[in-house]
Amino acid sequence: MTVKLTERMQAWIETMGCHLCVATPQGVPYVTLGRFASVTADDEVAFALAQDEYGIISTALKTNPWVALGVSKQGGIRASFQFKGIGRVVTQGPLFTGIAAEAKEAQGIDTYAVIYVKVSEIYCTKPGAEAGQRLDMMTPDEVCEWEKKRWQDIPRKNTK
Amino acid sequence: MRFVATHMDDKILIADMFLLKTKMNIKENPEVAVAICHPLEEGRWWVFRGKAVDIEYGFPRDFDWYGANATDILNEWGNWNKSEPPDEVPPDIVFPKAAQRGVVVIHVEEAYSIEPGHAGEKIL
């Protein structure tokens, strides 16, 4: 099924950043912060990580490329989704320098690695009967409608 | 997670309320990581790691998880929504009806920082 992050999902991800979680093949989890996030395609998010932030997950990511992410700060409550996908690490070239420059300008981050996550699974984490529901089984239009029935708040529009 | 508490010196408790997918994951693999999501600032850049079990109502009452007793846990936190109603949660977020099935007990074995500039440094 095609995955397309909704306008609201994109806004929360880019405004708040994300907590990124990886795990070793043995199932040992590691969490780091993706303070700067940029949606680079309908189903792809890039995170600029400083060296210490990347260091937490680098070993696990080399053996298991799956990354789970949830929106940080207030977004963890308001944008109650979990996204999963394959992560790809980029440390040089235009795919690195573009995101690194944006992260430096926006948050002063000295980027060591950029992780591109190709989102292929979306889960609802809203407390209640729908918690854990897998949303990427719906079409992108259906996901949009499903979300609009529950939430209308888009941080970029509300705060600027 | 609205219903969270600490117990003893090294336990984090979370209500098993609509956990569903998380419950399955814990049953398959007890290794967990818990990070503070909000608010992040003011020194709350923590990730706790350890082993978790979901102490459900049907567990033997003498079940022990690293020193935490099932009876003690369920007596105090088994009906969390009643003892601490989530009155402050906005109506578009709060669940319409509570349905607790137990309490997840995390035995914390280590903690590390995710503070920018100190990420990965061991705290505990």
Tens digits of residue pLDDT in A7-62: 999 999 999 999 999 999 999 999 999 999 999 999 999 999 999 999 999 999 99
Instruction: Decide which of 1.10.260, 2.60.120, 2.60.40, 2.30.110 is the CATH code for B4-110.
Output: 2.30.110
For residue B39, how many other CB atoms are within 10 A of its CB? 9
Partner residue facing A73 (CB), from B21, B37, B94 = B37
CA distance B64 to chain A (A): 23
Answer for the pair A53, A32: CB distance below 8 angstroms, yes or no.
Answer: yes
Please spell the DSSP secondary structure of B76-105, one letter per residue.
HHTTHHHHS--TTS-TTTS-SS--EEEEEE
Question: How do the domains of chain B map onto residue ranges?
Answer: 4-110
Tell me the chain B residues in contact with residue A128 when contact means C-beta distances shorter than 8 Å: 18, 95-96
Tokens of A116: 């591109």
Considering the domain A7-150 in this protein, what is its CATH number?
2.30.110.10
CA distance A106 to chain B (A): 15
Look at A35 and B97; give whichever has higher pLDDT. Answer: A35
- ∠B35-B39-B41 over CA atoms, to 5°? 95
Give ipTM to 2 decimals. Answer: 0.91
- ∠A40-A46-A47 over CA atoms, to 5°? 155
What per-residue confidence (pLDDT) applies to A160?
A: 40
Contact assignment for A73 to B112 by CB distance below 8 Å: no
Residues B53 and B13: their CA atoms lie apart, in Å, by: 10
Structure pTM?
A: 0.94
Answer for the pair B97, B85: CB distance below 8 angstroms, yes or no.
Answer: no
Closest C-alpha among B108, B110, B112 to residue A33: B112
Question: How do the domains of chain A map onto residue ranges?
Answer: 7-150
CA distance A132 to chain B (A): 5
